[in-house]
């Protein structure tokens, strides 16, 4: 037994069941990070083979060909060639192919074989192949390929037994390396046909189940109805499962902070603990339930094969505003919260389309804007009925949601025209067979998303929350102060100062001040306004106070500001984390600031003129 | 004829993929995905807006292709 672990790379076409196989082999023992210098997920796991040897498995991104068209495929190619900085070439390549889709997948197997490295072919989904009546002469396929071939069923316990035994044995003798040029590349299809003719017998081309499902799921009318129903269900779940848990977490930390405070002397330390750290933790961890519920659905839809169908239905619409069909689900998630939305853009392999989606995602009206909208609408918009049926308050809320969507479309449209890369970016999207999602794969995916959020973001967001607390607490008010404490703090000074640039859009200094904590989390704007107007936090007291001090035009301006404003800092932290550069954070913040200011300016002056 | 001219449900056989311009990576990718001489294809579905993209069945696989992508594929109807 050698001291070093055997390094195995898992490769294959997208949708070959490679990740399910990886999960089966490694269980929860996985390390998820990024490849050096890019934000593409690097998943590695290890397990002990029966011989006692340690096997280290790298799950490479799915690829159709070494003639790479996406950063994912480049990484797969470069790692296999041993050209990727910081990644050693694998000792053994396990090439995974879907046994029900060999025409497509065998071509990539042939490309991998030409590398001239030790390769084992894993024929995955053998159970599905048998069910469909596909017969594969495995010994003959192995003989013709000159590679060991094993059968696997990634969705069954023990389904990787044959593979484990094979990789635990002697390294297979590599096929002779071959040059990769256009002529030999064109020849690969002919070889695939020959192999299929000699080793595979199949009764029917596609699964009848897929045909039946797609007839409904992709129907021009029913397809859209089904999509709307699925989305409705997801949102119901986010609000009925995620939201109460979020509130519970926020309240729980508030309660814990308050009880801990009893043991501490009155002073800055107590304030830091209760108002800074515990409130901050409550806010940050409060995102978690919504993120997990959303990803539960996204992962389930992805595993089942429905997600690309949704992208198919809406691609044309999204393209017209500079996005892609695959942008739809991340943008929809952003209506709950932009953080899972932006994290969800990883399913978009094209970097340009992915960045465009990330940049417009914060314009979707997230759930944190609702308390602010509810307060301002309640205080300023009368509950008149319009044309007998509509409620004016409801109409204003609808208009704010519409403003977000229209704004995103406008930004996408403008980006499409000004970006440097005007080339044609392909859709070329495979619609995989429908599958029943496996609890293990969804569970591992959820755990990974949750950990990414907790490990990489909590620190940043918590630090910023504490900073916001410090700004609104220090310096303490002088003895005998008559105004609310926040008025004497840095935030108070900042609010007074901000009132100058914000006065053209109708904000007084109290409103300007409330923007500072709102940057940490939008919903805190309500609490901040309550503090500066020195009234209780509930809308019952705050709404009349606001109505007495703020004009209708200013209130409308503030509403529009919240529809477009560059917020919140958690979102900006995710943009940094998911795109790897501050430049995109600056672009996102900058364009939203300009957009919010311009829109508020227009609304404020229009309202003043009309009033 | 082009793959985009094919009515929904009709069977056809691929002749070749034409480059829309020099170094056409999309055309090359279509060839890599199996759009090569002699492969049978079928238009399975059309998206609701402007019948774009199209869902193409080739071999055991279904690909969503935008019309601009599918227009690169030259086909002839399969002899019945």
pLDDT at A462 over 80: no
* pLDDT tens track, chain B, 80 positions: 999 999 998 899 999 999 999 889 999 999 999 999 999 999 999 999 889 999 999 988 999 999 999 999 999 998 65
pLDDT at A533: 75
pLDDT at A157: 87
Strands A429-430 and A41-48, sheet pairing:
unpaired
Tell me if residue A273 falls in helix, strand or coil: helix
Could you tell me how far CA A478 lies from the centroid of its own chain?
47
How many whole angstroms separate alpha carbon B54 and alpha carbon A315? 10
How many whole angstroms separate alpha carbon A322 and alpha carbon A416? 5
How many whole angstroms separate alpha carbon A228 and alpha carbon A231? 5
pLDDT at A204: 65
Distant-in-sequence, close-in-space partners of A12: CB < 8 Å, separation ≥ 6:
A18, A62, A63, A95, A96, A97, A98, A105, A108, A124
How many whole angstroms separate alpha carbon A242 and alpha carbon A287? 9
Q: Do B29 and A312 touch (CB under 8 A)?
A: no
How many whole angstroms separate alpha carbon A327 and alpha carbon A349? 11
pLDDT at A546: 84
Lowest-confidence range among A130-134, A276-280, B13-17? A276-280
Q: How far is CA A28 from CA A4, A7, A32, A43, A188, in A?
A: 22, 18, 11, 11, 37
> What angle do helix axes A351-360 and A392-418 make, rounded to 10 degrees?
150
Lowest-confidence range among A334-338, A409-413, A601-605, B64-68? A334-338
CATH number of B3-77: 2.30.30.90
pLDDT band per the 50, 70, 90 thresholds, residue A456: low
pLDDT at A161 over 50: yes
Structure tokens of A415? Answer: 């980006």
Q: Do A65 and B47 touch (CB under 8 A)?
A: no
Q: How far is the alpha carbon of A324 from chain B, nearest alpha carbon, in Å?
A: 11
Cβ contacts of B31 on chain A, cutoff 8 Å: 186
pLDDT at A455 over 80: no
ipTM of the complex: 0.95
Chain B positions touching chain A (beta carbons under 8 Å):
20, 25-26, 28-34, 36, 44-50, 52-53, 55, 57, 59-66, 68-69
pLDDT at A35 over 70: yes
pLDDT band per the 50, 70, 90 thresholds, residue A1: very low
Q: CA of A430: which chain B residue's CA is closest?
A: B63
pLDDT at A528 over 80: no
Q: What is the mean pLDDT of residues A208-237?
A: 90
Q: Do B62 and A223 touch (CB under 8 A)?
A: no
Domain extent listing, chain B? 3-77
pLDDT band per the 50, 70, 90 thresholds, residue A64: very high
Strands B61-65 and A429-430, sheet pairing:
antiparallel
pLDDT band per the 50, 70, 90 thresholds, residue A371: confident
Cβ contacts of A325 on chain B, cutoff 8 Å: 53, 64
How many whole angstroms separate alpha carbon A28 and alpha carbon A20? 12
pLDDT at A377: 87
Structure tokens of A309? Answer: 């169908």
pLDDT band per the 50, 70, 90 thresholds, residue A2: very low
Structure tokens of A104? Answer: 């497509």
pLDDT at A205 over 70: no
CB nearest to B34's CB, from A100, A104, A311: A104
Q: Do B61 and A102 touch (CB under 8 A)?
A: no
Q: What is the mean pLDDT of residues A271-299?
A: 79
pLDDT at A367: 78
Asked if residue A453 lies in contact with residue A291, where contact means CB atoms within 8 angstroms, the answer is: yes
How many whole angstroms separate alpha carbon A360 and alpha carbon A329? 13
Asked if residue A557 lies in contact with residue A506, where contact means CB atoms within 8 angstroms, the answer is: yes
Alpha helices in A381-438 (DSSP H): 392-418
pLDDT at A21 over 90: yes
pLDDT band per the 50, 70, 90 thresholds, residue A291: confident
Cβ contacts of A430 on chain B, cutoff 8 Å: 61-64
Peptide bond into A374 cis (omega under 30): no
> For residue A246, which phi and psi values (nearest 5 degrees)?
-60, -50
Q: What is the mean pLDDT of residues A394-398?
A: 87
Tokens 């029966």 belong to: A50
Q: How far is the alpha carbon of B28 from chain A, nearest alpha carbon, in Å?
A: 8
Chain A positions touching chain B (beta carbons under 8 Å):
64-65, 67, 69, 100-104, 107, 185-186, 189, 205-206, 210, 214, 218-221, 223-224, 308, 311-317, 319, 325, 424, 426-431
pLDDT at A590: 95
Q: What is the mean pLDDT of residues A375-389?
A: 81
Q: Do B61 and A316 touch (CB under 8 A)?
A: no
Q: How far is the alpha carbon of B45 from chain A, nearest alpha carbon, in Å?
A: 7
The C-alpha angle A555, A464, A277, rounded to 5 degrees, equals 100
Q: How far is the alpha carbon of B80 from chain A, nearest alpha carbon, in Å?
A: 18
Distant-in-sequence, close-in-space partners of A84: CB < 8 Å, separation ≥ 6:
A35, A75, A78
How many whole angstroms separate alpha carbon A19 and alpha carbon A17? 6
What are the b/e assignments for A405-431, b being 16+ CB within 10 Å? bebbbebbeebeeeeeeeeebbbbbbb
How many whole angstroms separate alpha carbon A265 and alpha carbon A482? 24
Give the residue from A227, A316, A319 with the most B CB atoms within 10 Å of its CB, the best one to mutate: A316
Mean pLDDT, chain A, as a whole number? 87
Q: What is the mean pLDDT of residues A449-475?
A: 77
Q: What is the mean pLDDT of residues A40-57?
A: 90
Compute and round to an integer the Cα radius of gyration of chain A. 28
Q: Do A104 and B50 touch (CB under 8 A)?
A: no
How many whole angstroms separate alpha carbon A190 and alpha carbon A110? 11
Chain pair A-B, CB pairs under 8 angstroms? 109
Burial class (CB in 10 A: 0-12, 13-18, 19+), A36: exposed
Rounded-to-10 torsion of CA A55, A61, A62, A63: -110
CB nearest to A104's CB, from B33, B45, B65: B33
Share of chain A above pLDDT 70, in %: 97
Higher pLDDT, A28 or A313: A313
pLDDT at A213 over 80: yes
Q: What is the mean pLDDT of residues A84-95?
A: 93
Q: What is the mean pLDDT of residues A285-313?
A: 87
How many whole angstroms separate alpha carbon A69 and alpha carbon A313? 24
Lowest-confidence range among A346-350, A444-448, A515-519? A515-519
Q: What is the mean pLDDT of residues A86-107?
A: 94
How many whole angstroms separate alpha carbon A373 and alpha carbon B44? 45
pLDDT band per the 50, 70, 90 thresholds, residue A355: very high
How many whole angstroms separate alpha carbon A218 and alpha carbon A227? 9
Rounded-to-10 torsion of CA A67, A69, A73, A75: 100
CB nearest to B48's CB, from A104, A224, A427: A224
pLDDT at B59: 84
Cβ contacts of B53 on chain A, cutoff 8 Å: 312, 315-316, 325, 427
Give the residue from A72, A109, A225, A427 with the most B CB atoms within 10 Å of its CB, the best one to mutate: A427
């Amino acid at each position: 037994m050698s001291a070093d672990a055997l390094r195995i790379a898992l490769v294959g076409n997208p949708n070959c069941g490679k990740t399910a196989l990886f999960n089966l082999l490694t269980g929860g023992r996985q390390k998820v990070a990024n490849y050096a210098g890019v934000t593409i997920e690097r998943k590695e796991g290890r397990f002990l083979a029966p011989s006692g040897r340690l096997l280290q498995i790298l799950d490479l991104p799915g690829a159709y060909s070494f003639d790479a068209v996406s950063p994912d495929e480049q990484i797969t190619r470069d790692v296999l060639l041993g050209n990727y900085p910081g990644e050693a070439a694998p000792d053994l390549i396990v090439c995974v192919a879907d046994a029900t889709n060999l025409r497509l997948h065998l071509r990539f197997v042939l490309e991998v074989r030409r590398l001239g490295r030790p390769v084992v072919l894993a024929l995955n989904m053998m159970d599905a192949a048998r069910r469909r009546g596909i017969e594969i002469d495995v010994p003959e396929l192995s003989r013709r390929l000159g590679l060991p071939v094993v059968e696997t069923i990634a969705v069954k316990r023990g389904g990787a037994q044959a593979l484990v035994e094979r990789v635990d044995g002697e390294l297979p003798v590599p096929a002779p390396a071959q040059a990769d040029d256009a002529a030999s590349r064109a020849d690969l299809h002919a070889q695939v046909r020959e192999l299929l003719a000699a080793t595979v017998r199949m009764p029917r081309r596609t699964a009848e189940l897929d045909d039946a499902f797609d007839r409904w799921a992709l129907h021009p009318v029913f397809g859209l109805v089904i999509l709307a129903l699925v989305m409705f269900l997801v949102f119901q779940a986010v609000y009925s499962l995620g939201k109460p848990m979020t509130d519970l977490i926020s309240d729980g930390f508030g309660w814990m902070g308050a009880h801990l405070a009893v043991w501490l002397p009155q002073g800055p330390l107590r304030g830091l603990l209760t108002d800074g750290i515990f409130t901050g933790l409550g806010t940050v961890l409060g995102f978690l339930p919504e993120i997990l519920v959303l990803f539960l659905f996204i992962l389930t839809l992805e595993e089942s094969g429905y997600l690309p169908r949704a992208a198919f239905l809406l691609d044309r619409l999204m393209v017209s505003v500079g996005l892609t069909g695959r942008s739809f689900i991340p943008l929809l998630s952003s209506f709950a919260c932009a953080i899972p939305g932006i994290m969800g853009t990883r399913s978009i392999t094209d970097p340009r389309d992915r960045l465009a989606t990330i940049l417009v995602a914060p314009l979707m009206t997230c759930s944190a804007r609702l308390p602010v909208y509810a307060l301002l609408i309640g205080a300023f918009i009368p509950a008149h009925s319009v044309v007998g049926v509509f409620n004016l308050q409801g109409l204003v809320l609808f208009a704010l949601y519409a403003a977000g969507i229209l704004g995103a479309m406008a930004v996408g449209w403008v980006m499409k025209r000004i970006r440097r890369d005007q080339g044609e970016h392909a859709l070329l999207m495979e619609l995989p067979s429908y599958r029943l999602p496996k609890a293990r794969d969804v569970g591992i995916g959820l755990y990974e998303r949750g950990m990414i959020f907790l490990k990489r973001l909590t620190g940043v967001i918590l630090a910023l929350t504490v900073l916001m607390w410090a700004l609104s607490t220090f310096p303490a008010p002088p003895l005998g102060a008559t105004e609310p404490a926040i008025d004497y703090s840095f935030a108070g000074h900042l609010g007074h100062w901000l009132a100058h640039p914000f006065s053209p859009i109708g904000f007084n200094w109290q409103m300007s001040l409330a923007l500072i904590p709102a940057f940490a989390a939008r919903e805190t704007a309500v609490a901040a306004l309550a503090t500066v107007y020195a009234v209780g936090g509930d809308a019952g007291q705050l709404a009349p106070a606001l109505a007495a001090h703020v004009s209708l035009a200013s209130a409308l301006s503030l509403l529009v500001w919240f529809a477009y404003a560059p917020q919140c800092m958690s979102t900006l932290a995710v943009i940094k984390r998911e795109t790897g550069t501050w430049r995109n954070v600056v672009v996102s913040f900058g364009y939203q600031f300009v957009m919010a200011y311009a829109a508020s300016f227009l609304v404020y002056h229009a309202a003043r003129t009309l009033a | 004829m082009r793959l985009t001219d094919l009515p929904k449900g009709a069977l056809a056989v691929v002749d070749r993929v034409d480059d829309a311009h020099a170094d056409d990576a999309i055309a090359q990718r279509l060839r890599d995905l199996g759009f090569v001489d002699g492969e049978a294809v079928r238009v399975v579905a059309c998206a609701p807006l402007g019948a774009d993209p199209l869902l193409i069945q080739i071999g055991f696989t279904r690909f969503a292709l935008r019309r601009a992508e599918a227009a690169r594929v030259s086909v002839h109807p399969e002899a019945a």
